[in-house]
Amino acid sequence: MIIMGKIIIENRTYTKTDLLQGHWKEADPYFHQALTFCQQWLQGNQSFELPSSGSTGAPKDILVHRTQMEISAAATRDFFNISKGSPLLCCLNTWMIGGKMMLVRALEWEANLYLVKPSENPLLDTPTINFDFVAMVPMQVSACLANGQSQAILKKIKNLIIGGAPSSPALIKKILQEDIQAYQTYGMTETVSHIALAKITGEELIYQVLPGVKIGTDAQQRLCIQAPMAGSKTLQTNDLVEMVDDKSFKWLGRSDFTINSGGIKLQPEGMEPKMAVPFERIFGHQNFFLYGKADEKLGQKLVLIIEEQRIQEEKEQELQEVLKTLFNRYHLPKEILYAKAFIRTPSGKINRPETFKHCL
């Protein structure tokens, strides 16, 4: 017999009655705040203040209504056909919308949620269970694939959704090689988690919107969203997309990362996947990104930033020669910089401006 609607933390189990009545003694602040949110949800709180990621503007705290979260949870349940009593894993930061929505899904779906602290490889801290539904950021998926024990658990997850940041071409390739049942998500705090999903079946991702979601673009090719989980307002994002049809799109990158170099507009997030294969062959599995550095002559010049402890001049030269065969001269990095450790946002995205400030 499956007992439905539980939150499991290590060897402690909390039922809905426990949560509603506050019957827990979690001294750890992280678990305490997560269980407090569950209690507030079960008590019927109608709104929650959450930090946004900045997809529709500067990061800020926004007010999310209960109805929005209920609609989002129902759409995801119906898409994946999740049944009552299903085992779920929450390994995301429950201060953010991704982790909060895992708590809501568990409570609304009457599922059994295993809650662990977010870590680079969360599957090393979980029981050996065939989870029906798990959400991770790309960094976590990559770490799980690199470890034999966690990779075996990952391959048994029925539905894995990946969000918070785009998956790199190298990660997508590994997911395909290992036959992981995974979906890349598109969403933000304002849409209360994802409003579109792209099943990872090839290197090119095409996002399909959830039922009830309407999409379009403005004059700059930026995505506009009307979705019941976003409330009644139309959201104007900073994401550049290519519309496939009125229900699907390809994500091209962020408009606010566009680099204007001498009048030539460069979209770094569209260029980075093309660079990934030769970069990995020369530099290995180091992280990198393209950025616009202020320049007196060009306004901005394209620079390549690599997560590396020391300068690699020979590898730089080799990479530049290869890139000349892939890009025209306007799209070649004018300089290569290094950062000892990339700075990331709470949701796992690389904070490009802050990382740039700490380059060698």
Render pLDDT for 182-229 as a digit per residue (tens, 0 to 9): 999 999 888 898 999 999 999 889 999 998 899 999 998 999 999 999
Please report the pLDDT score of residue 128 as a whole number.
82
Q: What 3 state SS string does 16-75 have?
A: HHHHHHCCCCCCCHHHHHHHHHHHHHHCCCCEEEEECCCCCCCCCEEEEEHHHHHHHHHH
In this predicted structure, what is the pLDDT of residue 1?
46
pLDDT band at 2 (very low <50, low <70, confident <90, very high): low
Rounded CA-CA distance 15/220 in Å is 49
Interval 64-83 mean pLDDT? 94
User: What are 340's two structure tokens?
Assistant: 């000892």
Dihedral (CA of 155, 130, 160, 208) sign: positive
**What digits encode the pLDDT tens for the residues 329-350?**
888 999 999 999 999 887 778 8
Residue 89 has pLDDT above 60, yes or no: yes
Helix runs in the chain, H state only? 16-21, 29-42, 66-80, 97-109, 138-145, 148-154, 169-177, 268-283, 313-323, 352-357
297-326 b/e (C-beta count within 10 Å ≥ 16 → b): ebebbbbbbbbbeeebeebbeebeeebeee
Task: Count CA within 13 A, CB hemisphere, residue 208.
Answer: 8
Element (H, E) at 88: strand 87-90
pLDDT band at 59; cut points 50, 70, 90? low
Q: Which of 169-178, 206-215, 294-303 has the lowest mean pLDDT?
A: 294-303
Residues listed for the chain: 360
Q: What are phi and psi of 131, to 5 degrees?
A: -70, 145
Cα–Cα distance, 29 to 156 (Å, whole number): 31
Mean pLDDT, the chain, rounded, equals 90
CA dist., res. 99 & res. 34, Å (int): 9
- Long-range contacts from 41-45, C-beta under 8 angstroms, 24+ separation: 41/66, 41/103, 41/104, 41/107, 42/16, 42/107
Average pLDDT over residues 100-117: 96
- Residue 243: how many other CB atoms lie within 10 Å: 14
Higher pLDDT, 66 or 55: 66
User: How big is the CA angle at 50 (ends 227 and 134), to the nearest 5 degrees?
Assistant: 70
> How far apart, in Å, are the Cα atoms of 3 and each of 14, 39, 85, 86, 113?
11, 19, 7, 10, 12
User: Between the CA atoms of 40, 44, 45 and 48, what dihedral angle is there, to the nearest 10 degrees?
Assistant: 80
Determine the average pLDDT of the residues in 139-154. Answer: 93
Model confidence at 319: pLDDT above 70: yes
Domains of the chain: 6-211 (3.40.50.12780), 258-357 (3.30.300.30)
CA distance 161 to 82: 14
Share of residues in the chain with pLDDT > 90 (%): 63
Say which DSSP state 288 is in. Answer: E
pLDDT at position 298 is 83
Q: pLDDT for 218-273, tens place per residue?
A: 998 999 999 999 887 889 999 999 999 999 999 988 888 889 888 788 889 889 98
What is the rounded CA–CA span in Å between residue 171 and residue 144?
11
- pTM, entire model: 0.81
